Amino acid sequence: MKKLPISQHILEIVSDAGEGAQKAGSIFAQTTAKMGNYLWTVELIPSEIQPPPHTTRSSSGIRIRFGSEPITNGGNLTNLIFVFNEMSLLARLEAHALAEEVIVFIDNQWASDPNPDIVRQYQQILAELSQRGADIYELALSQEVEPFTEDPQKGKNMFVLGVLGFLYQRDIDLLQACAAKAFSHKSAQVLASNRALIQAGYAWGQGQLDFCFSIPLLPHAAPMVTLNGNQALAYGAIAAGFELCSMYPITPASSVAHTLANIFEEFGGMVHQAEDEIAAIGVALGANYAGKPAFTVTSGPGMALKTEFMGLAVITETPLVVVDVQRGGPSTGLPTKIEQGDLLSSLFATPGDAPKVVLAASSIADCFHLMKTARTLAEELRILVILLSDSNLATGMQLFERPAISAISSSPPHAAEMESLPYHWDKLTGVPPRLIPGVSQKVGMTSSLNHSEAGLVRYDSLANEAAHQMRSHKLATLRKCLKPPAVLGEEEGDLLLIGWGSTKGAIAEAVQIARGNGLKVSHLHLVFLNPLPPRLKEIGAGFKKIVVVELNYQDVPGDPYTKDAPRLSQLALLLRSHTLLPIESFARVWGRAFMPQEILTQIEQEILALEAS
Amino acid sequence: MKTLHVDQFTAGYCPEEAGFTLERYAGEQPRWCKGCGDYAILVALEKLLALKKIPSNQVVCVSGIGCSSRFPYYLKTFGFHGIHGRALPISTGVKLANPKLTVVTVMGDGDCFSIGLGHWMHAVRYNPNLLVLVLDNEIYGLTKQQTSPTTPLGTKTKTTPKGPYIPPLNPLKLIMGATGVSFVAQTATWMPGHVSATLAKGMEHSGLSFIRILQRCPIFSPQAFGQGGKEREGFCFLTHEQGILLEDNLQNMAESLPHDPRDFSAAQALVQQTEDAEKGFTPLGLIFQALNRPSYEEVRFRSISHPSPEEKAELLLDKLKPFEI
Amino acid sequence: MEDQLWSWLQGEEWKSPLFLEVQEALGMGKELDLAGEEIDSAQLTQALHPSQSQGMERESSWNRVLKALSGALVLKGGGDPQDYFAAYDQHMRYALQALALIRGKEAPTTWQELSNRDFAFIPPVILYFRIDELNDPVLRQLGELMRQEREFKLILVQTQIHATVSRLGRSVTLNPHWDVGFWGLFFRTYFVLQIPAHLPALKTEVQRAVSSPRPALISIYAPADLALSELALRTRAFPYLRYDPEEGLCWQATLDLSYNPEPRQLWALEANQEELNLGHFLFRQNPSAFTPFMGDGVPVRDWLEAEGTKPVFLSMDQQKWTLTPTQQEKILSQIQLWGNLQAMAGQAKGGDPGLVVDWEEKIDLERQKAVTKALQTLSAKLLGVTSVDFTGSELKLNLGSHGEETKTKREKSRLEKPLPVAQSSETAWIETPLCTACDECTGINPRIFAYNQDKQAYVKDPAAGPYADLVKAAEKCSASIIHPGAPLNPKEKNLEKWIQRAAKLG
């Protein structure tokens, strides 16, 4: 028996929809986390609700990256895949997800399927993989589970869980306990059969395999929780004291509301599903106006519809938080896939000059904590705050320290009771007092037209200029209080990578490897996109080259058709105008997250080019 | 502090009675055109608030965009001048935040029946406790005479110089077809007493009280509704003890028709007739009222708990338990 | 002494307990709860909720409130009373905002609604008069400040008393200045304190007066030489008195004379048992006003016992000094006043038989009347009003003819209400209940047309403008409810045309 030492691994379990690969994966992930590993999991979801079975479109599963060091991203290529049929394997192959030397476990029942087409394609696919260097283990999964269950369709996943438990040397008792908990709502019969199946799978591994993996374990010092990004946004909203989530269904944002809908009322909150995206933000704005902390959550197409209301929030200086779980665009684009294409439209889509705060979550923990930051800033500065997440965070699961919360207050910071007027701006910070209907004794007019300090309509140049300046000062107030961004690595060198949002983990991992290899590369990651933090220009000046890394479009470098004036990616455009530095970008719209390896390759190329010049 | 006010003794001073005057609710000097019917509605609303003795800071007037949407500026209550067509979502949000507030939503025909029609139908279905006033003059006034959904055939406008190409929308038929409708009334600005009585009835109703107020625009649609009631044919007061009671001075201003506003079928039949070319008429009064339909905020607040900040924190940690490692 | 008093009034002493509560409610000093490493939350907190020291320099509304709560509002007296009223009202508005912030909807909205308890939370508004000697303009201003309802704390610091001596040395005029404290008693809602500055209890006494929920009149004698202050107390030239109306309803309960030495005597004796009367005080304050006494006479005490028998002299520094008739009168008057004070306070019981007055039984009604009358005249003179009724309550004094006005206003509005019935076709009229308030007619001629209190139009005065305006308004009326009637002026231009147009209206 060989015990292969590894520090981290990427495991996939993929089956036809309904065969429980995701369930087995989540039990495995939980056991793994409890034993003292970090992880990042991503669900592999078919795009249609009920695709035809045994096709590439029907494959459904889970990808788990786990290891002894904190894990911040989905990683590179899959090291080990457990598939229930050859089409699932093909789907993952076509998705370029598998490492060349991937270890494959596959149910071999298809090799003897009565349909000769299936037999042929089974053999072809295995042959192709084998040629690429894969290490293939076929097992008679259906036969193995038969003694323990009446319906082999339902039992295979538990057997697989047992095999994986052996392969990665998971604590069998803990594995059984986690499985029992996951099926606690099922009958005793099902529980017993599951228990036997896991045991049998583990025993099969012991008896049939001549290797297993050994990963160092380090029990977590603090209590940890594992959530996906949308769950984190939902629980973060509760922790931040929000009491209303007003939304309209849209992928990939909806599950924020799903999570809340189940529990929000116990916290005194409610989910309001409005008739459309516009009404959703309108209700949130009305509620904030009347003193109830409310937010709306949406994705790109919804953001487009909400722009007029966002302008209203800006000019009326009503606190409002808009969460945008970004997806591929424009228009309907790639509803389930990741892109960071809403950056510039978040900043600038509202017609007219509309200063607002834009910040982006770069981890699951950020999704949780930034909800509170967003509410605080919105209320304290009477400003619109857009919090950007994306579908990579939305479905990715990550371990983070359980937040410490002792009290959750939902009352707005204060209803200023002033002799002054509703827009009696503080001349320095630009922040006006906040009158709340029913709470403040003094009544006030809130106007979508340009207005004076009294909230009355003013069309004259001076009043318009003054109101714009005051709204802009609020952003300046926040900017003055932002800290210079932390730089991973030296503050000077050959190459500086700048990223924002969910790409943080992959960029940081690549930069750390490159620095380990002696390359002078550093990483700066932005949480605040508007206002931008101070010292960006000074930090940038310390490097020979600055490259933005983001999941956005840029004209393909070297394309002869566009090379005379290639279009830049969004953050590069923003940072160029902000710093006047010749910032370039490594930007792609592949509909998936960057792998650290891809960024590492880019770093190496950039540095080679720098050395050459 | 014991300083005494002489008039507390000499003039039978009663603090509750004092102060609820029209002036208390009067905001900026209105800047509508002379002869505009909006004035009558403003005065009627001010009177109603004074009559009901609702403190100004407990009232929110929300509006969209248009001449009528300047309403909040002219009331000394909380006012929210929003964006075109979107007054209803804002109002719903206000009610979800604080159901105790008296919310008056003011829109025009373009605001409610055109750009905001979707919100209108859904607001009727949600049934938040709002007083919804639609000031219908069959024209876009603020943008200077474009056709509105209720512009009748033959009315020349800047976008339809030969008159509209298609017949107007009938808001009464639409709302009487909406699931959940709970209060529909119609009144007209040239009958200020009727406007007052209708507004009062609407404010007493729990749920969305939809009141369509007929008026003309003295500049762009002076001919609307028989020159604003000067031609007194085709109007018909709906009379019923549960409806809008008619003051004596109104009796002779139009025909009367007995109509039970609690009878849904009768109301639906009534609004069908409003489009009949031969027998058609314009009803004034309470068309329909459903009692005991819970308001949206009532339904929502019924099922929520009210934990303390500390209990919330404890509960959250409890909810996170299943995700704990 | 006077400088100390001034800076003490400006100090922390008067800071409201609300100050900290407001700071807390505004989140001042409490750092904003912001996750992550990106924001300097302390700096943002400081920017949005500046702490007190910084906040004072920042012109933001809440900082003005905090400033108002941080101490007494001390204003130098002598300016225009209207400015003080405005400053007072503003100070109270800030305090009300603070109360509203902390209590929400239950908080009073005007300072008139404040309870005594609320009032205790609000730093006082102090008007500080530093004067060499009271004179008519100052007293008139005091009167104006005291006869309205704002609760000022009036502090008068006098460096001289009884000092109006003419160059000729002829007389000390019988000015009312020296008993301004006594005068204050007749504003019975006022807390009154009269105190010589040398008393160690000065601060506690002033503090008590200023902290009272009542308006206060505080008269302090603070000469440069504090020995004079002591002499003023002993000679009853400036007796200590404190009248606190919170203490009860009768004089005994409310009036306190306890810091006056030897209260049962006409005046306190010096250590050497020498007598000390008002004359001695006058002499010490201004010796040059006295001339040596020649010839035969008696000292003051003997003179008092056998009034008018022999010329009187002042015995001072082993010499005899002449007392003018005015000075003599002044001494008598001061003795009488002291007696009255004693009597009112009920302290004279069982004392010197010459002074015994039992408040309950023996008070001389006539004398009381006389005192009242004197004060009435005095007050009237000071207040600039011709007749003030002191026999009733001070209500009428405070608020003058307010009640009358209210009544008139009411009657007037009743008159304005138009009759809803149709009037003669000859007179212009409006079907008022049908008015839509559309501003047409009032825009055409606001002298003819007006709105009633229900904001519906009526014909205020058909003769206030041309018939043409009546007809034009009737034509324009969106509700067609104006009836122009018949023209009132047969000489009006183009009358025929207007009559024809009116006829078309039907």
C-chain residues within 8 Å CB-CB of B2? 116, 189, 213
Output helix, strand, coil percentages for chain B, rounded to the nearest 5.
40, 20, 45
- Phi and psi torsions of A4, nearest 5°: -90, 115
Helix, strand, coil shares, percent, chain C, to 5: 45, 10, 45
DSSP, res A415: -
Q: Contact at 8 Å (CB) between B101 and B58? A: yes
* Residue-averaged pLDDT of chain C: 75
pLDDT for C425 equals 58
| Nearest CB to A438 within list B58, B65, B73 | B58
- Which of C178 and A471 is assigned the larger pLDDT? A471
Cα gap C276→C334, rounded to integer Å:
13
Which of B275 and A495 is assigned the larger pLDDT? A495
**CB distance C436–B190 less than 8 Å?**
yes
Average pLDDT rounded to a whole number, residues C449-478: 91
Taking 80 as the threshold, does the pLDDT of residue B208 lie above it?
Answer: yes
User: Do B308 and A209 form a contact (C-beta atoms < 8 A)?
Assistant: no
CB contact under 8 A, A286 and B62: yes
Q: Tell me whether residues B57 and A438 touch, CB distance under 8 A.
A: yes
Block residue for tokens 């002298």: C447
Per-residue pLDDT for C35 more than 90? no
For an interface test with A, the pick among C28, C44, C54 (most A C-beta atoms closer than 10 Å) comes out as: C44
Most confident of A124-128, C88-92, C267-271, C431-435: A124-128
Q: Is A270 on the interface with B (CB under 8 A)?
A: yes
The ipTM (two decimal places) reads 0.94
Please give the interface size between A and C, counted as residue pairs whose CB atoms are below 8 Å apart. Answer: 81
**A409 to chain C: nearest residue by CA?**
C33
Q: What does DSSP assign to residue B221?
A: B
Beta strands at A59-67 and A38-44: parallel, antiparallel or unpaired: antiparallel
**pLDDT of residue A470 exceeding 50:** yes
Q: Of C37, C59, C60, which has the smallest distance from its Cβ to A483's Cβ? A: C37
Cβ contact C61–A486 (<8 Å): no
Q: For the sheet containing B255-258, what is the strand order?
A: A445-447, B78-81, B59-63, B102-108, B131-136, B209-214, B183-188, B282-289, B235-239, B255-258
**Mean pLDDT confidence for A413-428:** 70
C-alpha–C-alpha distance, residues C148 and C374, integer Å: 22
Confidence of residue C368 (pLDDT cuts 50, 70, 90): low
Task: Give the tens place of pLDDT for each residue, C191-238.
Answer: 999 999 999 889 889 988 988 888 899 999 888 888 888 888 888 888
* Nearest CA among A151, A221, A212, A154 for reference residue A183: A154
Integer Cα distance of B182 and C368 in angstroms: 76
More confident residue, C249 or A190: A190
The Cα C451–Cα C453 span in angstroms is 7
Q: Is the pLDDT of residue B318 over 90?
A: yes
Question: Is the pLDDT at C356 greater than 80, yes or no?
Answer: no
Q: Considering all CA atoms of chain A, what is the largest pairwise distance in Å, rounded to the nearest integer?
A: 86
User: How many Å lie between the alpha carbon of A404 and the closest alpha carbon of chain C?
Assistant: 12
CB contact under 8 A, B97 and A447: no
Q: Which residues, numbered 43 to 62 in chain B, qualify as contacts with chain A under a Cβ-Cβ cut-off of 8 Å?
A: 56-60, 62
Q: What percent of chain B has pLDDT over 70?
A: 94
- DSSP assignment of B53-98, as one string? T--GGGEEEEE-SSSGGGHHHHBSSEEEE--TT-HHHHHHHHHHH-
The chains found to touch C (3+ Cβ pairs under 8 angstroms) are A, B
Of B6, B37, B191, the CB nearest to C399: B6
Confidence of residue C359 (pLDDT cuts 50, 70, 90): very low
Asked if the C-beta of A410 comes within 8 angstroms of chain C's C-beta atoms, the answer is no
Residue A319, pLDDT score: 97
Q: What are phi and psi of C321, to 5 degrees?
A: -125, 145
Quote the CA–CA distance of A423 and C368 in Å, as a whole number.
61
Q: Using the 8-state DSSP alphabet, how is residue A231 labeled? A: H
Cβ-in-10-Å burial (0-12, 13-18, 19+) of B302 comes to: exposed
Three-state SS for C196? strand
A220 to chain B: nearest residue by CA? B325
* Residue A417 near chain C (CB below 8 Å): yes
Kindly report which listed range (A50-54, A203-207, A246-250) carries the lowest average pLDDT score: A50-54
Closest by CA to C91, choosing from C57, C121, C54, is C121
Tokens representing residue B210 in the block: 């939809």
Name the DSSP letter for residue C241.
E
Does the beta-carbon distance from B11 to C403 stay under 8 Å?
yes
Query: Which residue did the predictor score with more confidence, B16 or A368?
Result: A368
Residue C271: predicted pLDDT: 59
Task: Kindly indicate the confidence band of residue B3, based on its pLDDT and cuts at 50, 70 and 90.
Answer: very low
CA A360 to chain CA centroid, nearest Å: 10
**B249/C213 CB distance under 8 A:** no
Q: How confident is the model at residue B276 (pLDDT cuts 50, 70, 90)?
A: confident
For A526, A528, A575, the CA distances from A482, given in Å and listed in that order, are 11, 9, 17
B chain contacts of residue A39, beta-carbon cutoff 8 Å: none
Q: What letter represents residue A568's amino acid?
A: L
**A426, A481, A527: residue with CB nearest C36:** A527
pLDDT, residue A543, reads 98
Query: Does B83 contact A312 at a Cβ distance shorter than 8 Å?
Result: yes
Q: C488 or B295, which is more confident?
A: B295
Q: Please judge whether B34 and C440 are an interchain contact, meaning their C-beta atoms are less than 8 angstroms apart.
A: yes
**Mean pLDDT of chain A, nearest integer:** 94
Instruction: Say whether residue B11 is in contact with chain A using an 8 A CB cutoff.
Output: no
What is the rounded distance in angstroms from the CA atom of residue A397 to the CA atom of residue C110?
57
Please give the pLDDT value at position C60: 59
Q: What value does the mean pLDDT take over residues B46-71? A: 94
- Is A308 in the B-facing interface, judged by CB distances under 8 Å? yes
Q: Which residues of A touch B77 (CB under 8 A)?
A: 443
d(CA A206, CA A4): 15
Question: Which residues of B lie inside 8 Å of C (Cβ-Cβ)?
Answer: 1-7, 9-11, 21-22, 30, 32, 34-37, 39-40, 42-43, 46-47, 189-193, 216, 218, 228-230, 247, 249
**Overall average pLDDT of the C55-71 stretch:** 69
Q: What is the pLDDT of residue C391?
A: 41
For residue A516, report the phi and psi dihedrals to the nearest 5 degrees: -60, -30
Q: Which residue of A has its CA nearest to B317?
A: A405
Strands C482-483 and C429-430: antiparallel
Determine which of C54, C60, C90, C96 to mutate to test the interface with A (most A C-beta atoms within 10 Å).
C60
Instruction: Using the structure block, give the residue that is written with the tokens 């994986």.
Output: A164
Question: Do C44 and A428 make contact, defined as CB atoms within 8 angstroms?
Answer: no
A382-391, A430-439, B193-202, C317-326: range with lowest mean pLDDT: C317-326
pLDDT at position C27? 64
Q: Which of C402, C439, C454 sits opposite B39 (nearest CB)?
A: C439
- Which pLDDT value is given to residue A216? 94
Task: Look up tokens 């590369």; give the residue.
Answer: A521
CA-to-CA separations, C205 to A489, B26, C8, C113, C196, in angstroms, rounded: 70, 49, 13, 28, 11
Q: Do B190 and C403 touch (CB under 8 A)?
A: no
Q: What is the pLDDT, as a whole number, of residue A414? A: 61
- Which residues in chain A are closer than 8 Å to B83, comparing Cβ atoms? 308-309, 311-312, 448
pLDDT band at C134 (very low <50, low <70, confident <90, very high): low
More confident site: C135 or B221: B221
Q: Please give, rounded to a whole number of angstroms, the shortest distance from the CA of C38 to a CA of chain B.
A: 25
**Percent of all residues in chain A with a pLDDT value above 90, rounded to a whole number:** 87
Sorting pLDDT into bands at 50, 70 and 90, what band is A7?
Answer: very high
pLDDT digits over C371-423, tens only? Answer: 555 555 555 444 444 333 434 333 333 333 333 333 333 333 333 434 444 44
Lowest mean pLDDT among A310-314, A524-528, C433-437: C433-437
CB contact under 8 A, C34 and A377: yes
pTM of the model: 0.77
- Average pLDDT, integer, range C144-160: 86
B112 touches chain A (CB under 8 A): no
Q: What string of DSSP letters covers C299-355?
A: EHHHHHHTTTSS-EEEEETTEEEE--HHHHHHHHHHHHHHHHHHHHHT--TTS-TTT
